[in-house]
Amino acid sequence: MRVRPSRGDGGFTLIEVLAAVVALGVFMTALVALVDGVHTQAALDVERRTALSLAEESLARMSEQGAQTVIAEGPYVRTVDRVTYTVTPSIASDPPPYASPSPWSWPALLSMFRWGLGGGSGGADDRPPPPVAAQVTVTWTTSVLHRQVQGSVALTQLFPQ
């Protein structure tokens, strides 16, 4: 005589299968959102590095040709990997705090000492002109996963007049 196994002992119920499918769906949705965010951030990081490179290139041109010369040329546009970047050199509207040192800082005191003993009168007319705070701003707009994203990078550096 054969004994038949009961059907309730060896399987999953419909409720258990539905609960597992729902849990798997929630997990997969979260995973897709995470991958989407990582992909977007990676694309933006590449474009930000390109923008920083363009800004540093413009600052290097200012070092070679003079800040005023490059600023007078005005903004220009560069396209790299199908992304258009606008590079705008300008005088910084808000110079960095190190652009004008305190009159009692060591560099200022040494400058007064040098200009005072170096044959000059030591007055304000003998001192070199203050440096120019030049700023390079790079802006771009790109499409990442069918979304328009705008980016901007700004670098500031001091140059002699």
* Secondary structure (DSSP) of 17-45: HHHHHHHHHHHHHHHHHHHHHHHHHHHHH
Measured between alpha carbons, how far is 64 from 57 in angstroms, rounded to an integer?
11
For the chain, give the number of residues: 161
Q: Going residue by residue through the chain, which has 161 residues, state the pLDDT in tens, using 9 for 90 and above.
A: 676 655 556 788 999 999 999 999 999 999 999 998 888 888 889 999 999 999 999 999 999 998 889 999 999 999 998 899 999 999 886 666 655 555 556 666 666 666 555 545 555 556 677 778 899 999 999 887 787 889 999 999 988 87
Please say whether the beta carbons of 78 and 54 come within 8 A.
yes
Measured between alpha carbons, how far is 105 from 86 in angstroms, rounded to an integer?
38
Measured between alpha carbons, how far is 145 from 43 in angstroms, rounded to an integer?
10
Collect all residues with Cβ–Cβ distance below 8 Å to 13 and sequence separation of at least 6.
Answer: none
